[in-house]
Structure 1
């Protein structure tokens, strides 16, 4: 058994996020484990760009109110204790509402192959898409 050292809190890159988003890497497994866990902190209005995970992703909300939407799908409102799974290859975005902070655990598996990305990032969610998700569309 070993205690894992804490990584410094990182600011979410502008290519991947809109607004203020910060994350803490909780766990990054060593082979054979490929588990990944981040605690992601979204300020009001903060959200991801469209993206997909090669092996899917699970989100578990710990604080605040958030939104998640698969491309072409309905918006799901997430509150503390809610868990949402996006299957492998599903394009989606998630983040805080316009008025609430939100923190979730992001849980996914790496690919085990450095030539296959764990996450593929796409374009930013448009203002119209985000407004519609917040009930202002």
Structure 2
């Protein structure tokens, strides 16, 4: 399996603009930048983003729509949740979380930015190898 044939959505180009906030290689294809921002994010096996928070004064947050592979989503202080194609995750503004690929699988999701007022991201610490290693 490779990035080009994971799903009907293009994998895009290396996600260099956000590489400092990921452990491992990811790819990004912006599908919409008007009205609702939607990016297709592709993670190589083992890749995950750092803990982060989507802030907004009103509304905001993010919705993940899983399109291919196997991955994980975890909120701060909770157990990680396995994700597979067809899963959806609604992430309210203000919730610290991370998401990414399983160690043995490519992973792809559409990241839908929920419209809101004064939306901004806060990038936090990486997910530790020890914590990530506990996932199946």
Class of the TM-score when normalised by the shorter of the 2 chains: 0.7 to 0.9
Separation in 2, partners of 1:129, 1:110: 32
> What CA RMSD, in Å, does the superposition of the two structures yield over aligned residues?
1.8
Q: State yes or no: 1:127 paired with 2:129.
A: yes
Q: State yes or no: 1:89 paired with 2:90.
A: no
Structure 2 counterpart of 1:11, from 8, 11, 15:
15
Report the secondary structure of 1:14's partner residue.
helix
Tell me if the contact between 2:63 and 2:114 (Cα under 8 Å) persists in the aligned partners: no
Separation in 2, partners of 1:97, 1:104: 13
In structure 1, list runs of 5 or more residues that go unmatched. 1-5
Report deviation, 1:112.
5.2
Report deviation, 1:85.
1.0
In structure 2, list runs of 5 or more residues that go unmatched. 1-9
Moved over 4 A (4+): 110-113
Tell me if the contact between 1:50 and 1:91 (Cα under 8 Å) persists in the aligned partners: yes
Show the counterpart of 2:111.
Answer: 106
Separation in 1, partners of 2:132, 2:22: 13
Report the secondary structure of 1:73's partner residue.
coil
Show the counterpart of 1:73.
Answer: 78
Q: State yes or no: 1:118 paired with 2:123.
A: no
Larger radius of gyration between Structure 1 and Structure 2: 1
Instruction: Determine which structure has the larger helix proportion and give its number.
Output: 2
Tell me if the contact between 1:110 and 1:118 (Cα under 8 Å) persists in the aligned partners: no
Change (3 A) 1:86 1:112: closer
